[in-house]
Amino acid sequence: MPPTLTRALALALLAGHASMAYAQVPGCDVCATWNADQAPFRIFGNTYYVGVKGLSSVLLTSPQGHVLIDGGLPESAPKIIANIGALGFRIEDVKLILNSHGHIDHAGGLAELQRRSDAMVAASPSAALDLASGEVGPDDPQYHALPKYPPIKAMRLARDGGQFKVGPIELTAHATPGHTPGGLSWTWQSCDGPRCLNMVYADSLNAVSRPGFKFSASSEYPNALDDFRHSFETLEKLPCDVLISAHPEASQLWERLEASATGDSAAFVDPQACRAYVAAARTLLDARLEQER
């Protein structure tokens, strides 16, 4: 992969990493920036971006119903619903809502989105505990460092390798823990006519935590480093034509969107994107471990 791409992604991840320090303060000063308006757009085939500026939410559409991935902050839900409508779709036709992990910036809007759609929410067993209580558990690196959010009442458990279908849409869950014990990434195929691409929604891989937590020596989360290594290997090996990360800037989504607006029809397609995303995360994890030493 081009070294310049890896460095660019590392800087983007680092920006998200730094922002999380502010998110740990009551009131979440960075949340307003994350929740800035973003016009929805098509990424490829039946895959659309419907999230806010700093927090991804992705809509997969079909005549039999739609799938939504992640719900942003509690304040993001009305904007996600409006974006779905702006594309000509209805929140009431969303049949399944998938979660990446149980932090407020990706799960905060799920309760309202579920209420408006009556869709089932799917999350990993660990994240489901977070969603049910509206806050992360003691094994999470950001335990007691994040605000609470509205809890979810009805859920399905999504385990590693589990498949979820709505009409012709079929998604696979991939356990990618480390940032949280219950992190999930999601894969599916989207087609535009005869051309089909492998789509990846990658969970956060940042080693960010509450003050005093050590990824290298945590009694609350002793498998953190092994989990990160598992996640790196998983994402590196996935068929990955189009990458969308939970924080869009970490996969250079805005640069790709700008390129697509100038006529680059393949701007979102990059078979090396998952490897570059992992390389950037490895760089940041190594820097974090060096600090801990």
- pLDDT tens-digit readout, 222-281: 999 999 999 999 999 999 999 999 999 999 999 999 999 998 889 999 999 999 999 999
Whether 198 and 273 have beta carbons less than 8 Å apart is answered as no
Q: 47-49 and 58-60 as β-strands: parallel, antiparallel, unpaired?
A: antiparallel
Query: Which band of pLDDT confidence, cut at 50, 70 and 90, is reported for residue 153?
Result: confident
Q: Give the per-residue pLDDT at 25.
A: 37
Strand, coil or helix: what is 50? coil
Task: Check residue 151 and report its DSSP letter.
Answer: P
Q: Give the per-residue pLDDT at 265.
A: 82
Query: Which band of pLDDT confidence, cut at 50, 70 and 90, is reported for residue 56?
Result: very high
Among 15-19, 44-48, 139-143, 286-290, where is mean pLDDT lowest?
15-19
Q: Give the per-residue pLDDT at 55.
A: 97
Query: Given the structure tokens 């393949």, which residue do they identify?
Result: 266
- pLDDT tens-digit readout, 96-130: 999 999 999 999 999 999 999 999 999 999 999 99
Q: Is the pLDDT at 136 greater than 80, yes or no?
A: yes
Share of the chain above pLDDT 90, in %: 87
What mean pLDDT comes out for the span 210-217?
A: 94
The span from the CA of 289 to the CA of 269, in Å, is: 33
Q: Give the per-residue pLDDT at 14.
A: 44
Task: Check residue 122 and report its DSSP letter.
Answer: E
Helices (H), 118-164: 125-133
Q: 41-44 and 47-49 as β-strands: parallel, antiparallel, unpaired?
A: antiparallel
Task: Check residue 76 and report its DSSP letter.
Answer: G
Whether 76 and 267 have beta carbons less than 8 Å apart is answered as no
Q: In this structure, what token pair is assigned to residue 29? A: 């000063």
Q: Give the per-residue pLDDT at 73.
A: 97
- 58-94 b/e (C-beta count within 10 Å ≥ 16 → b): bbbbeeebbbbbbbbbbbbbebbbebbeebebebebb
Which of the pair, 226 or 5, is modelled with greater confidence?
226
Separation of CA 16 from chain center: 13
